[in-house]
Amino acid sequence: MKKILVLCTGNSCRSQIAEGYLKYFAGNTAQVYSAGIETHGVNPKAVRVMAEDGIDISGHTSNHVDEYAGIHFDYVITVCDNANESCPVFPGGAQKFHHNFPDPARATGTGQEILDEFRSVRDMIKKYSESFIKQIQNG
C-alpha cells in the first residue's frame, strides 16, 4: 500500500483538506497523512466546508512533520511554497510533488466572503487530489 504525506505550513487548512480528499479518492489503496512545518490546529472553517462536500475531517489533528520521521513515504505533496522550501528529506526516496494553493486562512472580508474563499480552495484541492490519485493508480 502506498503512503502519501501532505505537507503545508501549519497543518490547519490546505493539508487537512487534501488529506480528506486523498483518503476519499484513494479508498483502501493508500495510507494518507498530513503534517505541517508548524502546527496551528485544524481550522474550523476547513472542517465546515469539507462537511458541506460530505467529507468529515472533524477528527483530524494538526501534526508536526517530525512526528512522521520514521515512516517511509512513497509520495510527499507540498501544498504551499513555504512547506516546499522547508520540506525535510525523507528516507526511502519519496517522490515529491508541489502545488501552491492559496491559503484560505488569510482570506479577508465578510464571513461569507471568507467562507467562499475556503470553498474555492477546497474545490481546487479536490480537483488536484482526484487527479493525483488517478495518476498514481494508473502508473
The question of whether 8 is a catalytic residue gets the answer: yes
Predicted confidence at residue 4, as pLDDT, reads 97
Angle at the Cα of 113 (from 112 to 119), degrees rounded to 5? Answer: 90
Query: Which CATH number does the domain housing residue 95 bear?
Result: 3.40.50.2300
* Mean pLDDT in residue range 66-90: 86
* Catalytic pick among 22, 47, 80, 94: 80
What is the percent of the chain with per-residue pLDDT over 70, rounded to a whole number? 96
Residue 23's pLDDT is 98
**Catalytic option among 4, 8, 57, 125:** 8
pLDDT at 102 over 70: yes
pLDDT one-digit tens code per residue, 40-49: 999 999 999 9
Between CA 3 and CA 38, with CA 122 as vertex, the angle to 5 degrees is: 60
Q: E-strand spans in the chain?
A: 2-8, 30-36, 75-78, 95-98
pLDDT at 91: 62
pLDDT at 84 over 90: no
CA angle in degrees (0–180, nearest 5) for 41-136-22: 25
Q: Of 85, 77, 90, 81, which is closest to residue 136 (Cα–Cα)?
A: 77
DSSP state of 64: B
Least confident of 4-8, 28-32, 70-74, 99-103: 70-74
Phi, psi (rounded to 5 degrees) for 125: -70, -35
Active site residue 80: yes
Residue 105 to residue 49: CA distance in whole angstroms? 13
pLDDT above 70: residue 53: yes
Domain total in the chain: 1
Expressed as residue numbers, the domain containing 52 is 2-137
Q: What is the pTM of this model?
A: 0.95
Please pick, among 7, 18, 65, 87, the residue that the annotation labels catalytic.
87
